[in-house]
């Protein structure tokens, strides 16, 4: 995720960056590869990339088939891990 590009698209890039940085827990979070809105476990951009990589690894060209197979695997993984929706921070 290219935060600098996002800031530069704003009407007030400096203020946008200040607001963004003020909400971060640590200095290292400024260069994180996920959006600070959702975090690393629910980042839509990261999930999209993971889906693309999954389909490529499995040799699946049909998006619908890749999605259904991935959902089955994730459901099994979720159930095996205890089926808890909320995660401890």
Residue by residue, DSSP assigns 21-60 as HHT-SSGGGGG-SS-TTT-TTS-HHHHHHHHHHHHHHHT-
Short-list 8, 28, 29, CA closest to 17: 8
* Model pLDDT, residue 21: 81
What percent of the chain is helix, strand and coil (3-state, nearest 5)?
60, 0, 40
State both tokens at 77. Answer: 């993984």
Does 78 or 40 have the greater pLDDT score?
A: 78
* The pLDDT of residue 1 is above 80: no
So what's the pLDDT on residue 56? 87
> How high is the mean pLDDT of the chain?
82
pLDDT at 67: 82
CB 7 within 8 A of CB 16: yes
């Amino acid at each position: 995720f290219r935060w600098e590009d996002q800031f530069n698209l704003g009407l007030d890039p400096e203020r946008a960056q200040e607001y963004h940085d003020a909400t971060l827990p640590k200095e290292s979070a400024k260069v994180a590869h996920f959006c600070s809105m959702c975090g690393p476990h629910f980042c839509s951009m990261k999930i999209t990339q993971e889906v693309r990589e999954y389909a490529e690894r499995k040799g699946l060209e049909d998006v619908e088939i890749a999605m259904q197979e991935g959902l089955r695997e994730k459901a099994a993984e979720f159930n095996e891990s205890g089926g808890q929706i909320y995660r401890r921070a």
